[in-house]
Structure formats: structure tokens, C-alpha cells
Amino acid sequence: MAKKQLVETTINGEPTEFLCEPRQSLLESLRDILGLTGSKEGCLTGDCGACTVLVDGRPVCSCLMLGMEASGKNITTVEGLAEGTQLHPLQQKFLEDASLQCGICTPGFLMSAKSLLDRNSKPTEAEIRYALAGNLCRCTGYDKIVRAVQDAAKVLQSR
Amino acid sequence: MPTVFIPSLLRKYTSGQESLVVPGRTVGEVVRNLDEKYPGFRNQVVEGDDLKSSLAVSVDGDLAVGGLLEQVRESSEIHFVPAIGGG
Amino acid sequence: MDTPQTQQFKIIGTRPVRHDGLDKVIGRAKYGADYAFPGMLYGKVLRSTLAHARIKSINAEKALRLPGVKAVVTHADFAPQTTAPVYRMGGEAAINPLYLACNILSKDKVLFVGHGVAAVAATSPHIAEEALALIEVEYEPLPMVLDLLEAMKPGAPILNPDVRRKSAPDEQTNIAGEFQFKRGDIEAGFKAADIIVEREFRTEMVHQGYIEPPNALGIFPGDGHATVYTSTQGPFDVRIMSATLLGLPEGSVKVIPAEIGGGFGAKLTVHIEPIALLLSKASGGRPVKMVMTRTEMMRGATGPTSGSILKVKMGAMKEGKIVAAKAWFAYEAGAFPGSPVWLGCFTGLSPYNIENFLVDGYDVLINKPKTTSYRAPGATNAAFAVECVVDELAQRCGMDPLDLRIKNASREGTASVMGPKFPRIGFVEVCEAIKNSDHYRTPLAQVPGKYRGRGVATGFWINGGMQSSAIVNVHADGTASLVTGSVDIGGSRASTAMVVAEVLGLRAEDVRPAVADTDSIGYTDGTGGSRVAFATGLAAYQAAHDVVRQLKERAAKIWEITAEDVDWTDGKAISRKNGVAPLSLKELAPRLTRTGGPVTGRANVYATGVGPSFAGCLVDVEIDPETAKVQVLRCTVVQDVGKAIHPSYVEGQMQGGTVQGLGWALNEEYVYDEKGTLRNASFLDYRMPTCLDLPMIDPVIVEVANPGHPLGVRGVGEVSIVPPPAAVANAVSMAVGTRITDLPVSPPRLFKVLSAKRG
């Protein structure tokens, strides 16, 4: 077993340090070392998107990234989406539009959707579906998720 | 008197009858009375002092909580159904 | 007096934000895998790589010597079990404890690739995995059987030497159960029929596909009291099963339900909870957390549901009256008995009033994982076959497929397949709603170069009642809290809280719902079987009325009259004596101390008056002739829900079930190699629908009030999965001009059909 290494990074805007083994993924580091359990484990092979975080603004499956690779990066997780008690419009619309049932896929969807809306403020339905194709949901059939992203886009456009 | 509907695979114990009118105030009493006319039927649905674990009983369309202890009325319909599981 | 149909509601029927929603969108909600405790260990399971073999020896010495490994357990560490049934309280579906224990950790034979053999606890999940590789298991391979028909034949490799058919008590067999429903005379019926359609259908094993792998955290210090944190649909089920396998009295196991990331029926049983407890005990009481991997979950016995062979023959008169139906269903049980074949036998023909029928069903052992409930278990397979044949009958009669269904519809008073007469049901209303939908009225335009088709199908589910318990506490600030034992997988906290709010005259957000552990609430059957809004809603309703009864007494005390002279209307206590202003709960709440102390309402129900439900699915598809890919263009789901307490979450159930059904129809199947290993044990290759595969799913709620429930509620959660596979098959059949009989209608399979047509 290789020695643990120090990782210096920024998570949700906060400078953060932690020790991890080389074989530990970023997902494992967030959940088991840092106690940030908002990012979820669904498959560990990058197929379900439940572990999606933003790395320097880009959506990444944190199960496919090593903890040590977070060095020097800016990581955003679902815990950092709201601004204090002010929910991001995506979070607000997921609640209003009933876009979650069991909620396990929700953090991943929120991060992927945020990344989409940061890049494209007026996405079409097809563009939304394409951007979210890497996030699996088994409960909702996606209908209300897509609608929430459309509604959040409108809110952000009006700002 | 209550009517008992005989499950298809047990009709060989009741000379092929699909349903029988049998006296009794509880499911258990009805089964005992049925067994007097058709010996052997009771052993197919009862184990010890309860219904067989693979069976449930429906009285007037509702799954009967009390099993053999469930009370029945004069006009009740009793059906034996496989025990249920859902998802 | 208001009947369920005529009641006016203030809260029920609205769409408040769910109470647990905030935690779930900010990442604060705790699912089973999110828990951690000091000194915690991690558990992993060693699983068989052979499909059928005797275990000659297990040697864990090397594993135990690996630094960080604290314990290794096997089946021998369970308390000795027999096949004598153990009842869940109230006599529901009994458990066979020996089979349960053997399914979790095999005793002397492995019966499928992925069958648990031993388990390890270590200081990190990585060390635990390394330790698995150091456990030496000596196997004696046995012949295996992976094909359903082969497994049923005499001479097939036998999985369980004790299994016998009633008709042949001296012969070993893999046919573990036989079921039959019969009425009338099918020979006479078929003789009289003008049109007969007879088809054979095949479906493959599919998995519930919940995104959250099974998890469990066991703490068992050896003082006789065990605690389990787990993402489960049934905390009380976990309790009885864990207690039985560990040889403990039931009350000695406390199960604390975590939030759950999907279950769909598979998490109503135990997969690893008893193992976590065994490992904890063997590690001196340290907490042991176990989370299955996706591959382990797909290969292990954590789902899936049966592949099946379905033979259906139906006869009708030329004006459309169905006069006879014969069905033969064989379902894969997997390694241990218990497929939902009998439920398929019962539900498939349920929408129809048929005088003569014979349905035979067979539960078949096979070297695949033991099947587990999947949303309306057994019904989807049967409906696939029946609804395709009904569609073909309509075609041959020259009738609209919905008109044929309405002509033969089960209605109030129709004798159901199992015998009891239907109460008020909404099958006709569902069919009519489909006919009246914008989707149905919009003709499907053809486009050059593609095949397009439209298909419709319906489905039935019994729904459950069973046991629920509820407590309502009134707080001095005029709010209330609701405690139940029903885990929330789809918004039921919100709907049960809304029921209480309606009765007490509060806003939905003034009732705080909580899901309690098995010590803190009365016995409650699992969240599943479409029973929570119905039965737990009923318990919440009665508990709220218990509060009302007490509040009337308190108001009477304040007004110095008797409780008989106090009414409760629109959330207020009203005096029948003149000149006194009504008192709301908010006004009474600060005065509880002076009028007698705390007010807590309670109710325990074994819910009767269950209302079965029907659903319909209408789907338009477009097929690319070159790739044979089926694209869903438009989809509408119609369902009779009795009364939609929270319409958004009702729509969610309808849409979610429909999409699972579409996945089952289009691409999901277990693919085994000749060694019995599941080849597509990942989300990449077990192809569930993604966002990009689908259009919006239009939900149409039909409300035919259930007379058996004070609010008219019917179960909602399951039935929507039943129609889509047949609807898709009917649509594709129309598009390509050949009847589709095999699921999934995936590109490789459809390509073969198209090629055969062309050449």
C-alpha cells in the first residue's frame, strides 16, 4: 500500500487540504475523507453520472478521477451550488417542478445542468437532453427534470 | 351460509365442484365443515393452526387479516389465493 | 354526506414542495452509504465465478493474515435455519429462512455466477477487496442450465434435490411451483369463436436498475442487540429477516431506514444486512459498512426479474366479444423458488370479462440469480403477451383496439380471474381517456425512408393494503408532526403530510413528516405494492382524526360544554351552542397544557378496501430500416389513481414506471455467456433509457374514486410499468407489418426481423 499524499485544492470556493492514497478516487476522497457525501456513488465506472462534479467548471465523473488529480483544481460539488441559503434556480425549480423522486441522481443532474446553463443560457429541449444524457435517472422518466432545466434557464435569462 | 370458491388445482378434492355453500361463522369453522363432507381438503389449506404459508384468504373481496380466525357473514364469499408480495 | 367523489379539498390535489426536498437538492440528505461511524470497517462479499458447483472447502487463512482484515464469515456463521416458514407479522408472505440464508451466503452449493460465498471486514474497502482474492475456495463443478425450456425438461441439471411437483412427488425437478386459474369451458369457447389468435412470446431477465447499489451498516456488539442502517423499502422486513438469520428475537434488531435511492421492489428483502451484522459481531462489535458495486449488484441476487415464455391463445366472435382464453406461462425463478408467475397468471387477463379461460403458470429454477420483486411483479410479462394478442384480435375483427377492450371490459361486479368480484374500477374510463387524448386524435404522419407505427396497450395491478402505523403530534405553535414507518421513495412523505394537513386545517408545510425506525413506530409493511398513499395515508388520516377527537374535548373544556356539542369543520372546532367563535388548531395549541396536557393522535391499520388500478400506454415509434433502431416519438400514459393527493408525484410515478417499461421493451436484457456469467453487468452495457432516448411522457390522470378509502385513493406506484412493452411491440408490429413476439425489440433482434421480411 503506497503512502498517502497531501492534496491541496479548492472545493466549493474553500482552500482544502487532505491526505489520500494514490488509489482513492476523487469521489471516495470527497465522500469518505472530506465528509462531502452529496456526490453519490452509482456505478464507479462513469456510466451513471451520479458522482458528477465540476472541475474548473467542466462536468466530470468524480469516480473516474483520482483524488490526487484534484491538486490545484477548482472543484464544485452540489454542496457548493447554493449561495449561502439562496438556492440556485436549478435547485429551486427541481423542487417546484417535482423533478426528484428518490433523489439519488439529483446532485449529479444539478451539476451537469449547471454546467450546461453556464455555457448555453438558451438551450433547446434537444440540447438539454443531449447535455444530460450522461446522467441516469430510473425514477422520473426525465420529463420533469428537463422541464426544471427549461424553467431554470428562463429564470437565469431574466436576471 | 357462506360460499367457498375452490381453487382450480384443489377441485379434485371436492369432486370437481368450483364452489360450495358451507356453514360457519369463521373461515376456520367453514374449512372444518367443508372437510367433513370432503375429507382431505383441510390438509391442503391448513398447516398447524394457521393457513398454509403459501396461501392467503380473501373474504368478500378483501384479504382477510385474521386468516382462519376471520369472521364471515351469511352472504360472505371466501376465496383462497396465493400469498402476496409486491414491488 | 360527502362521498370520496364529491369531497372538496383545500390541500389534497395541490402541489406543495416536498418536505424532504431541500435536503435532497443541497446534498444533505443521508442515504445508507452516507453514514460513517468511528472505528468503522468495510465489508465485501466473495462471489462465485461458477454457475453451479458444490463447495468442497473454504480457506480464509491468508485473507485473515492480511493487515487490516478483521473478520471473515460464511454461511456457517448464521444461526442454523430450516425451511419452516417464518411469518412477517400478520401472516403475510412467509419467508423460507433456509433459502433466504443460502441465497445471501451459499451453504454447500453455489447456484449462479455471483452467488455469495464468504464475506470480509477490513479497515478500508480496498483492503477488503484484496482480501477477497486471498480466500481459497475449492469447487466441484456441476452441470448447469441457463435455458428456461431446458430447465423444465426431465433430465435437466437439478438445482434443489428437495423440490417436487405435486403431480410427481417422487421425481426431482426444477419446476418449483404450479399455478392454475380456470373458469368455464375453453374448448366450447374456442369452438364457438369466429377468430382465434395464438402466439408464443419470449422475454428476458431484466433488472430494476435503481441507481443506488444496495448498502447496509451493521452494528452488533454481541450484547444481544443489533442495529442496522440501510437503504431499504421495508425496515420491518429487514428486522425480521436479520433477526431470524442471526437467531435473535425480532425486537432485538433495530433497523434505522436511511433515505433510499430507488428500489422498485428489490429492496423489500435483505441482500447484505445480515452479513454486515455477522461481520460486526465477528469484529468485536465495530460498525461494518457494506456497499455493493454495480457489477456485483447486477450479477448478485439483488433484482432481477424473470425472463419468461408466454403462450397465449384467445378466441373472439367477429363483433369483438372474447369468448375464450388459454395461457401457459413459465417464469424463471432463478436459484430459489419464488418468481411472480402466479401474479402474471392473475393479472394478464384481469382487464377482461371472459367466461371461459384456463391459465397455467410454472415457477422454474435455473442457474441465474434468484428473482426479486420488480414493480408490479409478474404483470408486465403476462400483459406483454395478452395485450399483443388482444391487439391482433382487434386487427382481425376490424375494430379499434380500445373499442374491443371496452366491449370486453371488466367492470364493477365482474368476477376477477381469482374469483372475487371487482369493486368500482376505472378500466373503461382509462380506455376512454386514451381515445379522447390529443395524442390519439392526432394522426401519425408517415415519413419517407422510415417505418412509423402507433401502438396501445393496457394493464392491471392489484395494489396492496396491509399494515401501517401513524402518530401525529401537536405542537404549541400550532404545527404538527407526523411519524410513520413508510420509507419515502417517491414523495409519499409529502402526500401523507398533506392528508394530515387537510384534516387538521393546516398548511402542508405546517405538518412535518418523519420516517421512524422499527422501535419508534408501530409495525408497518414495506413501501411498495402501491400501498403507501393508500394504507399509510389511511393511518395518517385516522391519526389526524384521533387528534380532532381530542381537540374537540379541549375546546369543550374551554367553552365549558360537553364534547358532543362540538363539531370540527374546515379545520376548526365549532360550538353548537350559540355565540362562541370557532377555535382553530393554531388557537387551541397554546392552550393544551391547561386543558389536559399533550395531544398525540395515533392509528394502526390493516387496510382493507383496496382499490385495484388500470393503466394504458399509447406510443408512436419510428424505425430506421438500416440500423433497426426504434425511436419513441411520442408517449402518453393514462392511469386511474382514484384520487391524486399530490398530482406532481402521481405524474412522476406514472412517467417513471412508463420509462422503465419502455426500457424493458427496447433494450434491456441480461446477456449470459455459455459459462453462465452475466456479460453486461454495467450501466454501459445493460442499456437503460437515457434522457436523450425519450420524448416528454404525457401523463393523464383519471380519478375514479375508490369507495373503500375515505379519500378515494388507489395505489399509484406500480401499474404504469405494465402496458409499455406491449404498446411498443404493437407499434413496431404496425410499423413493420410483422408481429413482434420477443423482447427486447433491440436493434439486433429487429434487424433479424426486417432482414427476414426483405429476403
Give per-residue pLDDT as tens, B53-65. 888 899 988 888 8
- CA-based diameter of chain C, in Å? 91
Nearest residue to C77 via CA among C284, C364, C279, C340: C279
Q: What is the pLDDT of residue B85?
A: 54
Q: Which of C14, C374, C690, C693 to mutate to test the interface with A (most CBs of A within 10 A)?
A: C690
Residues 6+ apart with CB under 8 A from A112: A49, A52, A59, A131, A132, A134, A135
Q: What is the pLDDT of residue B81?
A: 86
Domain ranges of chain C: 21-29+464-607, 144-422
Cα A139 from Cα C260, distance rounded (Å): 12
Cα C463 from Cα C653, distance rounded (Å): 14
The reply to whether domains C21-29+464-607 and C144-422 share a CATH topology is yes
**DSSP strand E in C209-297: where?**
215-219, 226-230, 253-257, 288-291
Partner chains of A (3+ C-beta pairs under 8 Å)? C
Which tens digits make up the pLDDT trace of C704-745?
A: 999 999 999 999 999 999 999 999 999 999 999 999 999 999
Taking the CA of residue B19 and the nearest CA in chain C, the distance in Å comes to: 10
Which tens digits make up the pLDDT trace of C630-650?
A: 999 999 999 999 999 999 999
Q: What is the pLDDT of residue C16?
A: 97
Q: Do chains C and B touch (3 or more CB pairs under 8 A)?
A: yes
Query: ∠ at Cα B78 (B73, B79), nearest 5°?
Result: 165
Taking the CA of residue C371 and the nearest CA in chain A, the distance in Å comes to: 19
Partner chains of C (3+ C-beta pairs under 8 Å)? A, B
**Is the CB of A141 less than 8 angstroms away from the CB of C648?**
no
**Is the CB of B82 less than 8 angstroms away from the CB of C421?**
no
DSSP state of C51: S
DSSP state of A83: B
Least confident span in A32-41, B25-34, C5-14, C409-418? C5-14
Instruction: Classify domain A89-158 at the CATH class level.
Output: mainly alpha
Mean pLDDT confidence for C547-564: 96
C209 interface with A at CB cutoff 8 Å: yes
Is this complex scored with an ipTM above 0.95? yes
Cα C357 from Cα C190, distance rounded (Å): 10
Residue found by looking up cell 412467509 in the block: C94
The x, y and z cell numbers of residue C349, run together, are 387477463
**How close are the terminal C-alpha atoms of chain A, in Å?**
52
pLDDT at C167 over 50: yes
**Is the CB of C464 less than 8 angstroms away from the CB of B86?**
yes
DSSP state of C490: S
pLDDT at C111 over 80: yes
Q: With both helix axes pointing from N to C terminus, report the angle between C724-736 and C379-397 in degrees, rounded to the nearest 10.
A: 40
pLDDT at C163 over 50: yes
pLDDT at C90 over 90: no
Which tens digits make up the pLDDT trace of A63-87?
A: 999 999 999 999 999 999 999 999 9
Mean pLDDT confidence for C646-666: 98
Chain B residues near residue C166 by CB distance under 8 angstroms: 9
Taking the CA of residue B54 and the nearest CA in chain C, the distance in Å comes to: 7
Number of H helices, E strands in chain B: 2, 7
Nearest residue to C387 via CA among C727, C38, C15: C727
Partner chains of B (3+ C-beta pairs under 8 Å)? C
Helix (H, G, I), strand (E, B) or coil at C125: helix
Cα C688 from Cα C669, distance rounded (Å): 10
pLDDT at C513 over 60: yes
Chain B residues near residue C345 by CB distance under 8 angstroms: none
Half-sphere exposure (Cβ direction) of B56: Cα atoms closer than 13 Å: 20
B87 part of a folded domain:
no
**Neighbour tally for C5: CB within 10 Å:** 12
Q: What is the pLDDT of residue A1?
A: 63
Please check whether residue C246 is in contact with residue C77, taking contact to mean a CB–CB distance below 8 angstroms: no
**Is the CB of C85 less than 8 angstroms away from the CB of B53?**
yes
Which tens digits make up the pLDDT trace of C310-342?
A: 999 999 999 999 999 999 999 999 999 999 999
Residues 6+ apart with CB under 8 A from C223: none
Domain ranges of chain A: 5-80, 89-158
**Neighbour tally for C575: CB within 10 Å:** 18
Q: What is the pLDDT of residue C627?
A: 96
Higher per-residue confidence, C470 vs C169: C470
Query: ∠ at Cα C308 (C303, C312), nearest 5°?
Result: 145
Which tens digits make up the pLDDT trace of C116-134?
A: 999 999 999 999 999 999 9
Question: Percent of chain A having pLDDT more than 90?
Answer: 98
Residue of B nearest to C531 (CA): B86
Query: ∠ at Cα C39 (C36, C40), nearest 5°?
Result: 45
* Secondary structure of C377-427 in HEC code, one letter for each residue: CCHHHHHHHHHHHHHHHHHHHCCCHHHHHHHCECCCCCECCCCCECCCCCH
Quote the mean pLDDT of chain C.
96
DSSP state of C99: H
**Is the CB of A44 less than 8 angstroms away from the CB of C652?**
no
B47 part of a folded domain:
yes
The x, y and z cell numbers of residue C383, run together, are 400483459
pLDDT at C227 over 60: yes
Cα C496 from Cα C510, distance rounded (Å): 13
C752 interface with A at CB cutoff 8 Å: no
DSSP-based helix, strand, coil % in chain B, nearest 5? 30, 30, 40
Counted domains in chain B: 1
Residues 6+ apart with CB under 8 A from C569: none
Cα A143 from Cα C691, distance rounded (Å): 8
Mean pLDDT confidence for A24-50: 97
Cα A80 from Cα A39, distance rounded (Å): 11
Please check whether residue B82 is in contact with residue B7, taking contact to mean a CB–CB distance below 8 angstroms: no
The correct answer on CATH 3.10.20.30 for the domain covering A5-80 is: yes
Q: What is the pLDDT of residue C758?
A: 84
Chain A residues near residue C34 by CB distance under 8 angstroms: 31, 37
Please check whether residue C533 is in contact with residue C708, taking contact to mean a CB–CB distance below 8 angstroms: no
Which tens digits make up the pLDDT trace of C233-269?
A: 999 999 999 999 999 999 999 999 999 999 999 999 9
**Is the CB of A40 less than 8 angstroms away from the CB of C690?**
no
Burial track C449-471 (b if 16+ CB lie within 10 A, e otherwise)? eebbbbbbbbbbbbbbbbbbbbb
* Domain ranges, residue B20: 3-82
| Amino acid at site C743 | L
Residue of A nearest to C489 (CA): A102
State the Rg of chain B over Cα: 12
Question: Percent of chain C having pLDDT more than 70?
Answer: 99
Q: What is the pLDDT of residue C398?
A: 97
- Cα torsion through C93, C96, C99, C105, rounded to 10: 90
| Amino acid at site C352 | Y
Nearest residue to C745 via CA among C228, C299, C201, C215: C201
Query: ∠ at Cα A13 (A9, A15), nearest 5°?
Result: 40
Mean pLDDT confidence for C569-578: 92
**Phi and psi torsions of C600, nearest 5°:** -130, 130
Taking the CA of residue C660 and the nearest CA in chain A, the distance in Å comes to: 7
Mean pLDDT confidence for C367-383: 96
Query: ∠ at Cα C650 (C648, C656), nearest 5°?
Result: 100
Q: What is the pLDDT of residue C419?
A: 87
**Phi and psi torsions of A93, nearest 5°:** -75, -35
DSSP states along A22-51: TT-BHHHIIIIIS--TTS--S-SSSSS-TT
Identify the top-confidence range among C485-494, C603-612, C661-670: C661-670
The CATH number fitting domain C21-29+464-607, selected from 3.30.460.80, 3.30.413.10, 3.30.365.10, 3.40.1390.20: 3.30.365.10
The x, y and z cell numbers of residue C548, run together, are 380532532
Global model pTM greater than 0.80? yes
Q: What is the pLDDT of residue C95?
A: 87
The neighbouring-strand residues paired with B2 are: none
C89 interface with B at CB cutoff 8 Å: no
Residue of A nearest to C40 (CA): A32
Please check whether residue A25 is in contact with residue A64, taking contact to mean a CB–CB distance below 8 angstroms: yes
Quote the mean pLDDT of chain B.
90
Mean pLDDT confidence for C581-585: 96
The x, y and z cell numbers of residue C205, run together, are 431477465
| Amino acid at site C180 | Q
Instruction: Classify domain C144-422 at the CATH class level.
Output: alpha beta
The x, y and z cell numbers of residue B6, run together, are 375452490
Which tens digits make up the pLDDT trace of C139-152?
A: 999 999 999 999 99
- CA-based diameter of chain A, in Å? 53
DSSP states along C654-720: HHHHHHHHHHHHHT----B-TTS-BS--STTTS-PPPGGG---EEEEEE----TTSTT-----SSGG
Cα C292 from Cα C271, distance rounded (Å): 10
Half-sphere exposure (Cβ direction) of C271: Cα atoms closer than 13 Å: 36
